[in-house]
Amino acid sequence: MSVPLLGLGRPALEDWAEAQGQSAFRGRQLHDWLYAKGARSLDQVTVLPKAWRQQLQAVPPAGANDWIGRSREVQRSVARDGTTKLLLATHDGHTIETVGIPAEGRLTVCVSSQVGCPMACRFCATGKGGLQRSLAVHEIVDQVLSVREVMDQRPSHVVFMGMGEPLLNSEAVLAAIDCLCTDLGMAQRQITVSTVGVPKTLPTLAERSLERLGRAQYTLAVSLHAPDQRLREELIPTSHAYPIEALLDDCRHYVAITGRRVSFEYILLGGLNDQPRHAEALARLIRGFQSHVNLIPYNPIVEEDFQRPTPAAVEAFRRALQERHVAVSVRASRGLDADAACGQLRRRHLEQMPASPSHG
C-alpha cells in the first residue's frame, strides 16, 4: 500500500505495518502519533525503530513528500476576532486554504475539498481561477490537524465550505468524514457538507453515505443564493444545466433516503437578492421542506462589484422568512479584516508569485 499514511484507520495501519515486516503494534503506534500527536514526519515518530524509519524515508509514496502526508504552511492570516486562515502547500506545489473560526466553547474548521473550483460562482474568489485537481483524503484531514496545531485547540466542528465543490470529490470527502469521526473522535453531527449543486449527485451521495459511513448524520447544506432560476444563473453560471426545481427534487430524494433535513444557504448581495420580495419567493420555493435557511452577508472580493447588504436589509430578509414560518439564522461575519472571502488569501498569494505551470 504505497499511499500517505494520514487518512488510514487503525486496522489499515496495522495491516500496513505487517506488510512492512513489522508487528501490528507498530500500526497502532503510528495511529496514535498521526491523530493524537499530529506527527508531521516519520522522524518525529521516535517510538518506531530508527532503521525502519530511515528505510521508509528513502522511498516516499507517490502523492506525498513523506509517508505521513502532511502539507506545509505557506502563509497565515489572523483577524482581530481570532479567525485564522492558513494557506497550505501540497506535495505538487498547489496551495489550498483552510480556516479556523473560534467561538465560545467551540472551534470550527472550514476545509477545502479541491484545488480551485469549477463552479464559477461570480461572488467567490476561488472560482475565478478554475479547477486544478481534487484533494486526496490525507490533504483534507491535514487541514483539520493544521488548524488544531496552529490554534492549540481541539476542533469541535468541520464544514466543507472552503475551496471546491465537495460533490465533485465525494468519495474522498466521505472517506475524510469517516477518518474525522473514527480516528479523531468527532461526531457526524458536527460536520457539514456544503454544495452548490451537481446534477444527479445528491441521491448517490445519500446512498454512498449509508454504505461508507453506516448512516448520514452530517448536515447537508445546499447553496441556493437565489429564489428563482434566472437570478441563480446570473450568480452561478454553471447552474444553467441544473434547474432549481431539479435541484430541489434531488434534495427531496436525499431527505427520503437519509431521513435528514437539508439546510439551505443564501448569500445576501446588497440590492440584488436581499429584498423582502426575494425572501417571499424563497419561502414559497422551499415550502414543504423540513429545512433551515442560513443567511450569509456577502464578503466583497475585488473581482466583482457586488455590495455587502445593509444590516437593515439583512434583518428585513430574516424577518420576512420567519413570518412565513421558515427556520432561519444569520451567519455572523468573521475575519473581515483578514481576507475573509473564500479564496482571497490564495489568490493574493498566487498574484505575488512568478508564473509557473505547477501552480494553479
97 has catalytic annotation: yes
Cβ-contact 202, 253 below 8 angstroms: yes
Cβ-contact 301, 125 below 8 angstroms: yes
Cβ-contact 106, 159 below 8 angstroms: no
**Which residues have C-beta within 8 Å of that of residue 194, sequence separation ≥ 6?**
159, 160, 161, 166, 221, 222, 223, 265
Q: Other C-beta atoms within 10 Å of 113: how many?
A: 28
Burial class (CB in 10 A: 0-12, 13-18, 19+), 46: exposed
Cβ-contact 127, 119 below 8 angstroms: yes
Cell numbers at 115, concatenated: 484545488
**Given the residues 207, 303, 342, 351, the one annotated as active site:** 342
**From CA 166, how far away is CA 170, in angstroms rounded?**
6
> Residue by residue, what is the 3-state secondary structure of 49-111?
CHHHHHHHHCCCCCCCCCCCCCCEEEEEEECCCCCEEEEEECCCCCEEEEEEEEECCEEEEEC
The number of residues in the chain equals 360
**Which residues have C-beta within 8 Å of that of residue 206, sequence separation ≥ 6?**
216, 253, 254, 257, 258
Amino acid at 88: L
**Given the residues 97, 139, 165, 265, the one annotated as active site:** 97
Cβ-contact 310, 302 below 8 angstroms: no
Buried b or exposed e, range 159-185, using 16+ CB within 10 angstroms: bbbbbbbbbbbbebbbbbbbbbbebbe
Active site residues: 97, 342
